[in-house]
Structures are given as C-alpha cells and as structure tokens.
Amino acid sequence: MSTLSQLLPPLVLPLGAALILAVIGLVSRRRWLTAGALILLWLASTPITSRPLARFMEGGGERTLAAAAPTADAIVVLSGGRLVAPGPDAVSEWRGANRFFGGLELFDAGRAPTLVFTGGWSPRHPDAPTEGQVLAAWAERWGVAPGRILVTERVTNTEEEAAAVASLLTPLDARRVLLVTSAFHMQRASVLFERAGMEVIAFPVDFQVSDGWRFGFTSLLPGATALGLNHQSLHEALARTVYRAW
C-alpha cells in the first residue's frame, strides 16, 4: 500500500501528467496533446484551482480554540515530516510547527492528561532521532512533564501511526483521542485511527488557505506555490483513494 502511494503520484499528478502529455505530443507530432499539457500545467499552477481544491480537501474544517475542545484520554500529534539539516549531527529543523503547537495548546488547556507523539522516521535518515523523539524533547522544554509524554515506535505512514498509537494506548484503556494533524490530512487520518479502534475527536490545524480569500485577477497567474498546493491536495486525494478513506 505504501509503495503504491509513492509510485503513482509522479505519474498522475499535474506536473508528471503534463510532462508525459507533452512528450507524447512531441513524439507523435500531435499538437493538441502538447497544447493540452500546457493548459493542464497552467491550470494546476494558478490559485483559482489550487485554493478551492485545498479547501475542499480540508472538508470545510475550521480552526477552533483549544479551550473549546472536548476532553479525551490522550492528545495524539501526528508526524508531519521534518527536515534533517546537512551535517554529521543530523539536526532536525521545523518543516511546520502547527501540529506541535496545536497539541501543546490542547494539553495546556487540560483537554487530556497524556500527550502522544508519533515516531515519524525515514530510511533516508536512519540514524536521526524520530520526529516524535524530537517533539517530545521540545515539549519537555516547554514545561510538559516527561511522565505525561508518550512516543510511539518508528512509523513511516499514517496507517502505521494509527496502529502504533492503538498498541500504545489500548493497554492503558485510553481509546478516546484528540487527533491533531493538518486539516487536509484529517479525513484520512480519522478513518485509519477509527479502523484501529480509536474514538477520534478531530482537531485540525495547518490550514492552507487564509480566511477571507477571494478571487481576483492574480488568481489566474501561475506560480510555484499554487502548483505545490495542487500537488499536495491531489496527492492526498490519491492517498484517500488508495486507502479507500473518502
């Protein structure tokens, strides 16, 4: 399942699909294919497509205050990917801190007695500490007692995260969790955690479209940011299809 979700995106997402169409059009001398590739690339690179699609993938979710969230047995913060900086010390740098701070806000608000970080790990950096270990250390620096923090074993995808959290919390009779992850990722994560036997209360963070965005002339101008956002949204749509998590 994990291999399939990694191999498909380069072939079917906008950039890869446009390049394939362009090559076929050039080789076969079919100009309409080449033109189609350019139109596809332009559409995928504009905010007029990327922002509505991102909001759709976020399920219309909204960011709420931690104090308004229900109580649970544990707060689970999913790994979001981190950057291991060049150098022999394999220092982890933030790729995005919204998940971490969302979990910390919930804990400070007394929404659950336990804070769980998943041990995101990449074979590209086998000797680096897991993301969960890094975030747990940061949480301690921010005043969370070590006895209130749990870190799962190594995981490489959301399905593994769900299984690892379930194996960690089930023996503690803790099944009701406040799940903290990016809004676009929440639907799939919730389904996988529920399949693993957890009762999920969603606490989405890391929204990709600012409140109050409106269409304007600049929405038609292509850019790398819009292309990346479309790639992210369509990659998540593909992953939901692979895991049948719609």
- Cβ(73)–Cβ(110) under 8 Å? no
154-192 residue pLDDT tens: 999 999 999 999 999 999 999 999 999 999 999 999 999
Weakest-pLDDT range from 106-115, 142-151, 229-238? 229-238
104-128 residue pLDDT tens: 999 999 999 999 999 998 888 888 8
- Cβ(119)–Cβ(130) under 8 Å? yes
Residues of the chain with CATH 3.40.50.620: 66-205
Give this prediction's pTM. 0.88
Label residue 194 by pLDDT band (50, 70, 90).
very high
Dist. CA 76–CA 174, nearest whole Å: 11
pLDDT at 2 over 60: no
Give pLDDT, residue 118. 97
Instruction: Print burial letters for 129-153: b (CB count within 10 Å at least 16), e (below 16).
Output: bbbbbbbbebbeeeebeeebbbbbe
Give pLDDT, residue 171. 92
- Cβ(57)–Cβ(182) under 8 Å? no
Architecture of the CATH domain 66-205: 3-Layer(aba) Sandwich (3.40)
- Cβ(117)–Cβ(77) under 8 Å? yes
Give pLDDT, residue 170. 93
Task: State the DSSP H helix or E strand holding residue 132, giving kind and residue range, or none if neither.
Answer: helix 131-141
CB atoms inside a 10 Å sphere around CB 94:
12
Dist. CA 34–CA 223, nearest whole Å: 20
